[in-house]
């Protein structure tokens, strides 16, 4: 039985509803361009209602013990696992992400609730011997209402995982879903409506203006977390700063380099580079290994091997568990990625494979781009420095460690980097000189529970997935007691 077009709700206070008298945002299947559902296009007035509901609920939520709050989060984790097949199907249909690879996103989403629930006792203060006749201690308290703004590439995972830390810390949340691929996040709205006290989590759909902008500017939202593009992150900082002082964390884009040294296992390194490119999400992940720097002695072989691996990727229906890559997320994203590809061609980079719509009638509609590989990419080319956020890999050569480090640092991004080589001392010397928030040696895996994930430079502010994230949703209060 096929998917039935339907209206999906927003959650404001205790009201889970599609009927708020506003316009609609229609979501389409990126594989077929067929409409599959719609969500309310909320307004700034809906943001105000959600913030009011969140502020009202926050008093009782913060007054609960950490064990009570943790218990609610564990119930959410269990409910996500119960509905995981439904969530995976809806997200694959709505986003183009391949269903066979969404298990990890759902695993991370549910595990985050349990991880942060268990981490709650680490929200500790300090006792400082600041005077001989007093007791000087610090405590941690929640901000109040937190705004979270979610991107389109991992919509359910980000919508859920990003709730865990602020809720455990005693905050309530107003969450905005992405403008494209908003449907799967409505399931967390349903679960929060069912399992949490009213107003603790509010889920809004809508455009960046007015919804995202109003969240950034609202004077009662003093803490904001955003995942998305650099441009939007800068806009959030600017909008927030015009109203009052807010704490903002940003997990933004990346132009992530993977360095293959002359003593590396070439097969393992190139295979890891292709896997790290996140083709099941059509390359639309901020940590994708989009820039491959190879020692000149191995460069030609590396390009040939990568070409072979890319051409083996099975492009197909995102709902087919055997598909290795689906379409990019939307018409706007398709135009953006193809424009980057055209810039690469015009700049003189060598297009080795891909760069076009795949052959076959099944790809005549939808936002399909074959896995793409550019070689001989010069460091000053647009595709060498700008995040493409699509299924495009760029290969360049280097002749020395010094040159590899220079090339790796030659962008305004600093999210992740990978280094492959047999000499561990040499690779660690290189790692120390690369400006990135996360670096992997002989691997492309960047997400480990308890380790911070976040960038430097234009890739963002703050680390997530760790104690640092939990503490960032608290403020420190100093208490001085005269004895």
Residues carrying an active site annotation? 251, 286
pLDDT of residue 21: 56
Query: What domains does the chain contain, in order, with CATH numbers?
Result: 6-252+460-482 (3.40.605.10), 257-449 (3.40.309.10)
Q: Which are the contacts of 148, defined by CB distance < 8 A and separation ≥ 6?
A: 159, 162, 163, 166, 173, 174, 175, 176, 224, 225, 226
- Phi first, then psi: give them for residue 113, nearest 5 degrees: -60, -45
Q: Which are the contacts of 454, defined by CB distance < 8 A and separation ≥ 6?
A: 249, 251, 415, 437, 438, 460, 461, 462, 463, 464
pLDDT of residue 3: 86
pLDDT in tens, 471-483: 999 999 999 999 9
pLDDT of residue 18: 87
CA dist., res. 438 & res. 417, Å (int): 7
Closest C-alpha to 224, from 477, 43, 476, 473: 473
Closest C-alpha to 196, from 224, 169, 167: 167
CA distances 89 to 102, 150, 356, 402, Å, are: 9, 19, 27, 47
CA dist., res. 206 & res. 45, Å (int): 12
Q: Which residues in the chain come in under a pLDDT of 70?
A: 1, 20-22
Sheet containing 247-251: which strands, arranged edge to edge?
15-17, 10-12, 201-204, 172-176, 145-149, 221-227, 247-251, 460-461
pLDDT of residue 98: 97
pLDDT of residue 20: 59
């Amino acid at each position: 039985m096929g998917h039935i077009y339907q209206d999906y709700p927003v959650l404001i206070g205790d009201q889970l509803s599609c009927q708020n008298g506003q316009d609609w945002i229609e979501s389409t299947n990126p594989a077929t361009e067929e409409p599959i559902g719609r969500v309310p296009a909320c307004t700034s007035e809906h943001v105000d209602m959600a913030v009011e509901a969140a502020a009202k609920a926050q008093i009782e939520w913060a007054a609960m013990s950490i064990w009570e709050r943790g218990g609610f989060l564990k119930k959410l984790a269990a409910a996500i696992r119960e509905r995981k097949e439904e969530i995976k199907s809806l997200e694959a249909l709505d986003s183009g992400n391949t269903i066979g690879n969404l298990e990890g996103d759902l695993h991370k989403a549910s595990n985050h609730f349990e991880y942060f629930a268990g981490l709650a006792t680490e929200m500790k203060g300090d006792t400082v011997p600041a005077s001989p006749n007093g007791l000087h201690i610090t405590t941690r308290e929640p901000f109040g209402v937190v705004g979270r703004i979610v991107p389109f590439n991992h919509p359910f995972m980000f919508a859920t995982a990003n709730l865990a830390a602020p809720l455990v810390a005693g905050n309530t949340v107003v969450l905005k879903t992405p403008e494209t691929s908003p449907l799967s996040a409505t399931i967390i709205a349903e679960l929060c409506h069912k399992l949490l006290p009213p107003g603790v989590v509010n889920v809004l759909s809508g455009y960046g203006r007015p919804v995202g902008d109003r969240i950034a500017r609202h004077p009662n939202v003093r803490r904001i977390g955003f995942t998305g593009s650099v441009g939007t992150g800068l806009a959030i900082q600017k909008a927030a700063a015009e109203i009052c002082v807010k704490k903002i964390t940003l997990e933004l884009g990346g132009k992530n380099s993977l360095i293959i040294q002359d003593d590396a296992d070439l097969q393992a390194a190139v295979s890891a580079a292709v896997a790290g490119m996140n083709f099941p999400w059509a390359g639309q992940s901020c940590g994708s290994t989009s820039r491959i720097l190879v020692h000149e002695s191995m460069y030609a072989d590396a390009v040939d091997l990568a070409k072979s691996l890319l051409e083996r990727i099975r492009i197909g229906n995102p709902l087919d568990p055997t598909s290795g890559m689906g379409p990019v997320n939307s018409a706007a994203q398709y135009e953006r990625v193809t424009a980057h590809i055209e810039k690469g061609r015009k700049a003189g980079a060598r297009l080795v494979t891909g760069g076009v719509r795949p052959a076959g009638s099944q790809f005549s509609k939808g936002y399909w781009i074959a896995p793409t590989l550019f070689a001989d990419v010069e460091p000053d080319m647009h595709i060498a420095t700008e995040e493409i956020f699509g299924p495009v890999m760029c290969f360049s050569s280097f002749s020395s460690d010094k040159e590899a480090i220079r090339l790796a640092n030659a962008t305004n991004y600093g999210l992740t980097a990978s280094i492959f080589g047999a000499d561990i001392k040499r690779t660690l010397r290189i790692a120390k000189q690369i400006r990135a928030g996360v670096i992997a040696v002989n691997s492309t895996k960047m997400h480990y529970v308890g380790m911070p994930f976040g960038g430097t430079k234009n890739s963002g502010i703050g680390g997530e997935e760790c104690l640092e994230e939990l503490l960032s949703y608290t403020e420190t209060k100093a208490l001085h007691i005269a004895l």
